[in-house]
Amino acid sequence: MNEPIEEAKAEAPTDFIREAVKQDLAEGRFQHVHTRFPPEPNAYLHIGHAKAVWIDYGIALDFGGKFNLRFDDTNPLKEEQEFVDAIIEDVKWLGADWEDRLLFASDYFDQMYTWAQDLIRKGKAYVCDLTPDQMREQRGTLTKPGQNSPYRDRSVDENLDLLERMKDGEFADGEKTLRAKIDMASPNINLRDPVMYRIRHAEHHRQGDKWCIYPSYDWAHGLEDSIEGVTHSLCTLEYEIHRPLYDWFLDELGIYHPRQIEFARLNLSYTVMSKRKFIELVAGGYVSGYDDPRMPTIAGLRRRGYTAEAIKEFCRRIGVAKADNIIEAAQLEDCIREGLNKSAQRVMAVLDPVKVVLTNYPEGQVEELDAVNNPEDAAAGTRKVPFARELYIEREDFMEDPPPKFFRLAPGREVRLRYGYFIKCEEVVKDGSGKIVELRCTYDPATKGGDAPDGRKVKATLHWVSAAHSIPAEVRLYDHLFNKVNPDKVEEGQTYIDNLNPDSLKVVEARIEPFAKDAKPGDRFQFERLGYFCVDKDSAPSRLSFNRTATLRDAWANVQKAQK
């Protein structure tokens, strides 16, 4: 657990939803609090779902209530067990505890069907033969009322018979629907006789072929909440216009009635938050999969090295809003930086190595220097780092003809090696193409540990690794998947795909100090001076692979200012 983030928390949060819950309890509308997170098992969860989880579960925690994980598995054409398993893993990893309340809407299908029959008997539902296109044509517009279906006045007995035959599989897909009988002239188009059941001859991942009619979300949503005794049904803003329908179904049935409250969904800069676009990105080969570390999916963030604690802290900081806005990705990155700064093991790694030969260092000699494991945590102790005649430093830490404010290594210049000695560049060796392949330097044995006894100072400290002792590793340098704050903001004739960042992934062959040789998938490190990195799930003992979780600071701040 990231205790530093936990310690940094402010007082218990409050927002318009929590204030509404307090009022409901004070007025006696509800005697307790019971929330739910109701994902559809048709995709992987993303960071926006993490916000919803921590609103639902967080409010249950704050008020000593209950929390359900309930799958809204009402569409067999798009749902798979793979998604169910992934969602369970993600919600558990985020830290939510549903106790024994892992629930599925499909387990309520019999009760839903009985309630549909009750609405027919009340004259509030009917079987309709219109095709989807015909229904759209008759629905009307925001300024024009809809038209009644010619099948709207079927008798109760006929409707009950047709619904039974729909359930028994007598009709083809799309041949008939069950619709609520409300008001085709309602200013809210959702109340213009919405569909309650569609015919779908499809195998359900839990129910098999028992059913060939499946409930619409609007019909099922409130019923599921009612059956489970949910008090507060918390949804994103796009469901606000559906709330009157939620209320209508519950009121007409005369059953227990939860309260629906809406909040703004999470929109994150430099990314997209659409299941459809996720599918397009994966199918088009723009990313390696739904858990690609550039994706905003929980699986992708976890693989990149994000912690559940950092995501929870991010959700706490952004709060609960009533209006849609775009949250800067930098806020999420700040949360993981703060957490890993306190907890991550430090190691030295060189991502673009150039060899340094210390010409006056004894050949064959190897020293073990003491290095601090984490300056933020004294209990983390120290480690030994091998130091020898031949080293690697970052190529960008040397310039043959440096500009005035370049303070790192250059011909005739002295710098400090982290935990080691002062070194001075005496000679530059190049290959036939003019590329620098070796720097020949001298070291000052009196400066061991980083200070000169004569008091002379240097302006730069470089990280390094021993050429003979360091281990090779693949390092994947991930960046924002898109190069615009809002990828959907495009020129005419373009799509969000045109805003993909061509530099969102660079793979380099690095050298890492031997301390990391036993690292396992999921282990997190700070590569000194470079950023935070996580061992990838594809890593093997013979070939370590690291994903960059975040740089040491926000490298996109100036870019974002320019785009605003």
170 phi/psi in degrees, rounded to 5? -75, -25
Identify whether 275 is a catalytic site residue. yes
Rounded (10°) angle between helices 81-94 and 308-318: 80
213 phi/psi in degrees, rounded to 5? -120, 140
Q: Which residue of the set 101, 206, 265, 418 is catalytic? A: 265
Do 313 and 47 touch, CB atoms closer than 8 A? no
Q: Which residue of the set 124, 139, 206, 275 is catalytic? A: 275
Burial class (CB in 10 A: 0-12, 13-18, 19+), 367: middle
Do 373 and 382 touch, CB atoms closer than 8 A? yes
What single letter denotes the amino acid at residue 199? I
Do 321 and 17 touch, CB atoms closer than 8 A? no
State the DSSP code for 543.
Answer: B
**3-state SS, one letter per residue, for 145-169:** CCCCCCCCCCCHHHHHHHHHHHHCC
Return left, alpha or beta for 48; rule: phi > 0 is left, psi -120 to 50 is alpha, else beta: alpha
Can you give the C-alpha Rg of the chain in angstroms? 31
Nearest to 272, CA basis, from 512, 495, 13: 495
State the DSSP code for 497.
Answer: G
Identify whether 165 is a catalytic site residue. no
Do 359 and 442 touch, CB atoms closer than 8 A? yes
Neighbours of 82 (CB within 10 A): 12
Identify whether 553 is a catalytic site residue. no
Do 416 and 461 touch, CB atoms closer than 8 A? yes
Strand, coil or helix: 283: helix
CA dihedral 487, 490, 495, 498 (to 10 degrees): -70
Neighbours of 363 (CB within 10 A): 8
Return left, alpha or beta for 258; rule: phi > 0 is left, psi -120 to 50 is alpha, else beta: beta
Catalytic residues: 40, 265, 275
